[in-house]
Amino acid sequence: MVTFNHSDSGTPEKTWEAAHWPDRFAPLGLDTLKRLVVVSAHPDDESLGVGGLIAHVAGLGLPIVVIVLSNGEASHPKSQTHDAARLAQIRRIEVTDALAHLAPNAQVHLLELPDGKLAEHVAIAEGAIAEAIGDAGDSTWVVAPWRADGHPDHAAASAAAERAVRERRARLFEYPIWAWHWATPDDAVWPLETVRLFQLKPAERKAKARALALHRSQVGPLSDSPGDEAIVPPGFRVHFARDFETLIEVGSRPNSPADARANPDRTVTAGYFDTVYSSGPDPWGFETRWYEKRKRATLIAALPRQRFGTALELGCSTGVLTAELADRCETVLGVDLVEQPLVIARQRLAGRPGVSFELRTLPGDWPEGEFELIVLSEVGYYCSAGDLRRLLERCRASLAVGGVLVACHWRHPVADYPLTGDAVHAQLTHVVGLQRTVHHLERDFVLEVYEQRPALSVAQRDGLVP
């Protein structure tokens, strides 16, 4: 949900001028830039946020790719003169014209994802951004809307960009738009240590102003009818007439979850996941990616028994795997440390007997009771080394007689995580009293089953072998 009202007067530009931002923040140098990928949630985001930067990079003769995720057809939901289809057509033309003015040689990709629902299509956006980045590494810069801008589509665009950048090892910067409207210079929301300013030359400011003017459906009214008012009126537009543009470099904030990569003794906290889930209800693509569906099928197939009584799923997220576990277990308790995914999980499995969800911070806030099955899937690498040892000991102590522990983790390194999946599974081998009965290793993930010693094989349980 949008957290502001564009029709409000907002923060005056004089308030921002009084903050003297050009004197407070480091300039953005372009020495390492060889390729620019611009991500726009809606047509005009790119012109508002980084129109001057686009014009500058175009002047350097460097390649530019602009990815516009939606057509912006929901900009005037109360219009009585323009329906969504007509607005989409108008805004496609506007953004094409604006970019032709800013960077005539830029590649422009219009993904035409649904305006207002980008959170449901993060995977598609990620793929397009990753393809645009290519294999050039950190000489490619991606600029995307700021994750804290107050608009869910901007958060989704940020999430897609961050995933693509992580995969392709590019650099990521984010540009605020609506924050100039609802925030103030003293708000704690600003990550001051990583704010960078890009100074615009007069020709670049002029090019940006012209590009903004070409977004006629946004900077002016569609008509005199109610509901057709300008979305970017003069009082808001003035924020983008400055002689500098503001970007936020992602990945080096001292108070961000990215610190975890440098400190294996620090467990990732709930704030990290609050940010992740703010990008949409399925930030990891559990419901859409074949990789995730196949991995779940592999996990379910690896269970050594057809039925279990009680099961505990650690880090259940939105309950996608929980639903499949419920088909094999009498009761399933899913736990997670943030509420957003649990709301979705409860809705997903509403009415399913024996399924419950609880908000808990592990390993300290451990549920009572014994469990015949404990599932530790994509959770262990968020723990510090010490917390992982405590978590695994809790798992061992909570297994019922004949209980089964299933662990599955992504094997590729992730900057935000204190540990790798391989490190998690290496620690599993040291848990006293458990015997590994399944070891499934792929390039992407490792899946293992541990049972109490002495463990029987599936064939032994079925009487096929002594």
Q: What is the DSSP letter of 454?
A: S
The CATH fold assigned to 13-255 is Rossmann fold (3.40.50)
Pairing of strands 399-410, 445-452: antiparallel
Q: What is the mean pLDDT of residues 92-118?
A: 96
pTM confidence score = 0.57
**Residue 393: closest CA among 380, 408, 377:** 380
Among 97-101, 273-277, 402-406, whose mean pLDDT is lowest?
273-277
Indicate the angle between helix axes 152-168 and 122-133, nearest 10 degrees. 40
Annotated domain spans of the chain: 13-255, 290-461
The CATH fold assigned to 290-461 is Rossmann fold (3.40.50)
pLDDT of residue 258: 36
Q: How far is CA 401 from CA 215, 433, 434, in A?
A: 67, 12, 12
* pLDDT over 80 (residue 81): yes
Residue type, 355: V
pLDDT of residue 200: 96
Tokens of 356: 């419950």
CA 46 remoteness from chain centre:
20
Which tops the pLDDT comparison, 216 or 191? 216
CA dihedral sign of residues 88, 282, 409, 142: positive
- Computed over every residue of the chain, the mean pLDDT equals 91
Among 108-117, 179-188, 288-297, 412-421, whose mean pLDDT is lowest?
412-421
CA 399 remoteness from chain centre:
34
Which tops the pLDDT comparison, 257 or 152? 152
Q: For residue range 4-27, list pLDDT tens digits in order.
A: 676 677 899 999 999 998 888 889
For the chain, the farthest-separated pair of C-alpha atoms sits apart, in whole angstroms, at 85
pLDDT of residue 57: 97
pLDDT of residue 71: 96
Would 13-255 and 290-461 be classified into the same CATH topology?
Answer: yes
